[in-house]
Amino acid sequence: MSLHTDGFTLWFTGLSGAGKSTLATAVAEALAGSGRPIEILDGDEVRTNLSKGLGFSREDRDTNIRRIGFVARLLSRNGVIAITAAISPYRDTRDEVRRAHDARFVEVYVECPLHALVTRDVKGLYAKALRNEIAHFTGVSDPYEPPHAPEIHVRSDAESIEESRDKILAWLRANALIAAAAPPASTAASSAASILQTA
């Protein structure tokens, strides 16, 4: 019996500081009035609560992503909009999570070039990684494999949060995963008047 009539997973991937969590929250807030159940699985929070003790080796990163994917799969197949925000650096592990899903899996690549990330990094983590003061830092000393064909691709260095959010919402509407936006009141009134005139 299929339970994923309304649920789906929105999987944000991208480098640290690219804006995944910010965008995930913006999309969740935009959908909050829809009456649909929504859960955000943030990478940092999952590491604290579900993946405590894991490091940043390839094996530990994959374990962390599989755990996030498992929870997202359970949520989405039971009608929840599961929104994940984690670096998830390895393409084959993301694809593995996609294949395991029962409900629709929508990958969102939040792209941002390294120079922009270094500029916006108030904690100076990228600068430390570039000086070899932090090991296993994705995008510097550890690889990040961008998706070949994500469902949605946004550029956080070139788009505002609102522009990226609206691009994501438009894709979800176009693919019937969320309801179409209601027309403005003036448009609805004009349509009603037109119908009356031609009746």
Q: Which pLDDT belongs to residue 183?
A: 52
Kindly give the parts of the chain with pLDDT less than 50.
Answer: 1-5, 185-199
Q: Which pLDDT belongs to residue 182?
A: 55
Q: Which pLDDT belongs to residue 130?
A: 94
Question: Which residues face 12 on adjacent strands?
Answer: 85, 108
Three-state DSSP string of 69-129:
HHHHHHHHHCCCEEEEECCCCCHHHHHHHHHHCCCEEEEEEEECCHHHHHHHCCCCHHHHH
Rounded Cα–Cα distance for residues 156 and 74 (Å): 30
Residue of 21, 51, 88, 156 with catalytic role: 88
Q: Which pLDDT belongs to residue 192?
A: 38
Q: Which pLDDT belongs to residue 199?
A: 35
Let me know if 156 is a catalytic residue: no
